[in-house]
Amino acid sequence: MSHWHEWSPHEQKLAEAIYSALDGFTNLGAAQDPTQRRIDFTTLFRCVTHPEEPFPAALQKQLTQDPKLREDFHHLLKKCSSYHIPRAAAASSGDLTERTVDQFRIRLRPSRVESDQLYILIELPDETTDSPSTLFLYDTQGGCLKQALPAPQEREIQLLMNVDNPLVLGLKDHNTEIFLR
């Protein structure tokens, strides 16, 4: 049995390296404060790709706080979406009632029956094969809304909403981007 002081510097260095390596992951399994827990990418991906899953509140919160997460989420939305309507031109003023890009159009039509409700009409281009199932509204501050979509009828999807629904307000807002997946 040899003592520490008899070891070569390299052997001592190896002992230190082994100690450090063991130390690096020994604490795995120690419970973390769940409120401080970062959003994992599985949560991010499932939020974007599974229309039936609600938008996790923790993700909503962290998107507004974490620029890197925001960048990742935006990149993922862009990559996974079939349609994307960018922010409206700065020259536009007032609330928008229509958002268009190429042949893809979203219109807001007030209900004649209920003055505090309106219809969101999503017209899909003729060549659409796969119907989108989710609409995302994304603003520059990381605010994001997710809306599951019903099946289209003759390439048109209709939603009925209260006029003060955040989704409606977001669609009217120049600063939002729209993604359909």
Partner 1 sequence: MKIRVYIATTEGPVKIQRLAAEDPEVRSVICLNGTSEALPISPAYDAFVRKPTGIVERFVGHPVFRMDVSERITEGQSWQLGVLIAHLLKFEGKLAEKEEKPDQVIWLTGEVNQALEVKPVEHIDQKLLQSAKLFSACKQQNIPVMVVMAAANHSQLTQSGKNSFHLDQQIMGIDTVTQLTDAISLMHPTTGKTVTQVMATPSSKKGTSSTTTNPKFRKAIFATFILSVSILALSLIVTPNVSSILPHGETISTITPFKPNEVNVTNELMEVRLIELRSPAHSNCAAVRFGNVKPTLNELISGPDLFHSHEISTLCGIRLIVKQSKMPADINASVEVTHAGTNLRRTLQTSFIKKRRQGNELQWQINFDRTIRRSFTYSWNLETDSELTKDKLNRRILHSGY
Partner 2 sequence: MEDNIYWLFEAQKSSEFTNLLQLVSETEIDGELKFTPSISRELGRLLVCRAYAPTLLELSHLVVMAQQCSPTQPDALERFFWDSGPARPNVFRAYIEKQLKLEALHSGGFSLSNDAVCIKHQDIDFCITYSRMPLLSALMEFLVTSLGYRILDDVLQLLSSQPLSKKLISDTANQLSRLLYDFLKSHLPTVQTQKNFNHLIGFLKSTYPRGFDQNSINDDLLLNFWKESSDQVSENNGDFKTFSSVYQRFVQLYRSLEHVGALRNLTFATSIGNDRDAGEIDPGDLLEHVEQIESSGDLLDTLQSPPAESIKFLNNREHSRLDRLIKSGHIASKLPLSLLRSEVFEPQRTRLTQALRDKVDKKRITMLIEEGPEEDYNSRFVLFEKDKSHIEQVRYASLYVLLQAEHHSAIELALALNPDLDLHHLNTDNNPAPDALLSSFFKMATKDSKVETDLSKLADTAYRAFKKIARKGFHDDEISQTDIIDGFAVGSDVLNNLKSQIDTFLQTASQKSLPNGDWTSQFSGDRQIFAKQFHKLYVEAERSQTSENSP
Chain residues binding partner 2 by CB under 8 A are: 1-11, 13-30, 32, 37-38, 40-42, 44-46, 49, 68, 71-72, 75-76, 79-80
User: CB under 5 to 8 A by kind: which of partner 1, partner 2, none does 156 bind?
Assistant: partner 1
CB of 163 to partner 2, least distance (A): 35
Nearest CA to 51 out of 142, 175, 179 is that of: 179
User: CB under 5 to 8 A by kind: which of partner 2, partner 1, none does 4 bind?
Assistant: partner 2
User: Rounded distance, CA 148 to CA 75, Å?
Assistant: 20
User: CB under 5 to 8 A by kind: which of partner 2, partner 1, none does 45 bind?
Assistant: partner 2
Supply angle C-alpha 68, 35, 71, rounded to 5.
10
- Report the residue number, 89 or 113, with the smaller CB distance to partner 1: 113
User: CB under 5 to 8 A by kind: which of partner 2, partner 1, none does 102 bind?
Assistant: none
CB of 153 to partner 1, least distance (A): 5
User: CB under 5 to 8 A by kind: which of partner 2, partner 1, none does 129 bind?
Assistant: none
- Report the residue number, 41 or 119, with the smaller CB distance to partner 2: 41
**Residues at the interface with partner 1 (CB under 8 A):** 109-114, 117, 119, 121, 150-151, 153, 156, 158-162, 165
Neighbours of 146 (CB within 10 A): 22
